[in-house]
Amino acid sequence: MLGVPLLATPAFAQSITVAVGADIETLEPHHATTFSDHVIARTLHRGLTQYQPNGTLGLGLAESWAISGDGRTYTFSLKPGLTWSDGRPLTASDFVAGIEHALDPIRPSPFAAKLFAIAMAGDFYYGHLKEGRALGVSAPDPATVVIKLSRRAVDFLETLAHPVAMPVPTQERTALHDGTVTSGAYWVARANEAGEMVLESISTGPGLVVRTVGSVVDAWNLMGDDGALVTAALPAVTPPTLSDHSDWIQVDRTHTLYAYGVNTARNPFNTIEVRHALAMAINRPKVLEGLPQNIGVPANQYVPPSVMGELGSYKAPFAPLTFEEREAVASALLAELGFDRDNPLRVNLRVPIGDIHRTAAESIAAMWAHAGIFTDIIEAPLFDHWRALEQGDFDVAFMVWPGRNEIPQSILEPLSLAGGPWNFPRYAFSEFTERLNRALSYDKEMVRLGCYREAEKAIIEDQALIAVFFYRPLSLVSPDIQGWIANSSGQHPLSALTTIPDDGGVKLMRPTLPQAVPSFGAGP
């Protein structure tokens, strides 16, 4: 957890504990890296657009927007009377400053490439902006933001809800580093004695106490504590046990891919034959047999079939083969590279702590062993697992990404240039990124889906990501919380949550906090 000052802590019986699965490494929205960083960034800050509790995209700090006929000019009118949490006015120039800050060639956002559809953004980012040229974002007056694109991007409104597009104070671009100056519903008050981060509502919302946990089991064990609890940025496939808390389990209306990513920057996993051998030597239905009943369905593709409609997802070429045929091909591929039972391919397989992850890993390791692959399973708490992925310290590892799982762009983008630090497999294929960008230029859904299918084909044929099964992700939400809505996009803004007092009425509650505006360390 990011270091914050320790102040006296009152009782927080009326707050909501937010259990996250990765350390919070920064409070600057533009430099948010971990999944937990992004949850906090979207809670502390708001962009021109934002996700609603039902998962749909709507207005954020903008009162309205208009898109030109060619789809390349976006004009936003801001809501009147906007201010930062410290009371200073929040104007259109702050959104210009925010995008410039994200694209700063000296210290760019790790997700800066998400903004490359903006005119001259690439030149600005690489420091090649020629005299007389300007970045395609402007503030013609304090209440209007105009953004010009170099190419159509039908997902651009969603990009503007991403932390990379949040505003910053024009005259103090480092003001967001400690979480005390925010544009959203909360600000960071302090840390309590347990090292948890405490967020105070700007208005009348409940206090949020953010706590990093090592596994779903750890979050599950918090249910006996007093107060409300919700999980966020905590991938859960199934709960450890239903016991007496089945009413805490909320299941989203979407499918998520359970997958193993392969480190394409590490030898010998940088060879396509090794990656295909690993993928083919997995009997997916057999893996699911060892897991709780009806947990998921086998996956030989990345995009859930329901998302692609009639067109259908692109399945791996080996999908029609029997498992015995796949296993024989896998062994032959490895033999061509000099691997056999006397010289087996050795794999370090990283998975988070948890029964589901361990059972699936042990099952797959046994299948790989039959194909002449020796596997060392490495289990770690979630925060250590994600850190290892960020640092590239793995051969093969469990991977999942937050995002709108009903949109192919959101599912495929992490492996593209715009995926930034979330491109854990270190996959680099420019044609893949170009196919995704091409899809965004079309209004007709079937044409766009065709482009996505071609993009999916590229990564399936490279097998940088090994699909195992699709499942419906779940969250733990205590019954006294309102505002958490199961939806098909997997978006659950913390700022929408309220708590229910014993009398059954909705009550917006906030902890009593001492007056303090702490500093969380020097800015960059």
Which pLDDT tens digit goes with each residue over 242-293? Answer: 556 678 888 888 888 999 999 999 999 999 999 999 999 999 999 999 998 7
Judge whether residue 7 has pLDDT over 50. Answer: no
Q: What is the mean pLDDT of residues 194-198?
A: 81
Q: What is the pLDDT of residue 27?
A: 94
Q: What is the pLDDT of residue 9?
A: 38
- Model pLDDT for residues 22-53, shown as the tens digit of each residue: 888 899 999 999 999 999 999 999 999 999 99
Q: What is the pLDDT of residue 173?
A: 87
Kindly state the tokens that stand for 449. 């889906």
Q: Are 192 and 9 in contact (CB under 8 A)?
A: yes
Judge whether residue 119 has pLDDT over 60. Answer: yes
Q: What is the pLDDT of residue 308?
A: 87
Nearest-CA neighbor of 73 among 143, 170, 138, 124? 138
Judge whether residue 500 has pLDDT over 90. Answer: no
Tell me the residue ranges of DSSP E strands in 85-165.
Answer: 137-141, 144-148
Give the least confident one: 213-222, 388-397, 420-429, 502-511: 502-511
- Three-state DSSP class for 262? strand
Kindly state the tokens that stand for 267. 């030898």
Judge whether residue 1 has pLDDT over 70. Answer: no
Judge whether residue 215 has pLDDT over 90. Answer: no
Across 230-234, 259-263, 494-498, which has the greatest mean pLDDT? 259-263
Give the least confident one: 93-97, 261-265, 487-491, 517-521: 517-521
Judge whether residue 13 has pLDDT over 60. Answer: no
- Model pLDDT for residues 123-158, shown as the tens digit of each residue: 999 999 888 789 999 999 999 999 999 999 999 999
Q: What is the pLDDT of residue 51?
A: 94
Residue 270 CA, chain-centre distance (Å), reads 25
Residue 10: which pLDDT band, with cuts at 50, 70 and 90?
Answer: very low
Q: What is the pLDDT of residue 28?
A: 96
Q: What is the pLDDT of residue 253?
A: 81
- Model pLDDT for residues 62-118, shown as the tens digit of each residue: 999 999 999 999 999 999 999 999 999 999 999 999 999 999 999 999 999 999 999
In degrees, to the nearest 5, what angle opens at C-alpha 209 toward C-alphas 206 and 215?
Answer: 130
Residue 311: which pLDDT band, with cuts at 50, 70 and 90?
Answer: confident
Mean pLDDT score of the chain, rounded to an integer?
A: 88
Residue 403: which pLDDT band, with cuts at 50, 70 and 90?
Answer: confident
Q: What is the pLDDT of residue 240?
A: 58
Residue 2: which pLDDT band, with cuts at 50, 70 and 90?
Answer: low
Q: What is the dihedral of CA 421, 424, 426, 427, to 10 degrees?
A: -110
φ, ψ dihedrals at 158, nearest 5°: -70, -35
Nearest-CA neighbor of 210 among 239, 189, 226, 224? 189
Q: What is the mean pLDDT of residues 338-364?
A: 94
Contacts 24+ apart (CB under 8 A), 54-62: 54/485, 54/487, 55/404, 55/485, 55/487, 55/488, 55/489, 55/490, 55/491, 55/492, 56/487, 56/489, 57/157, 57/158, 57/161, 60/160, 60/161, 61/90, 61/167, 61/183, 62/145
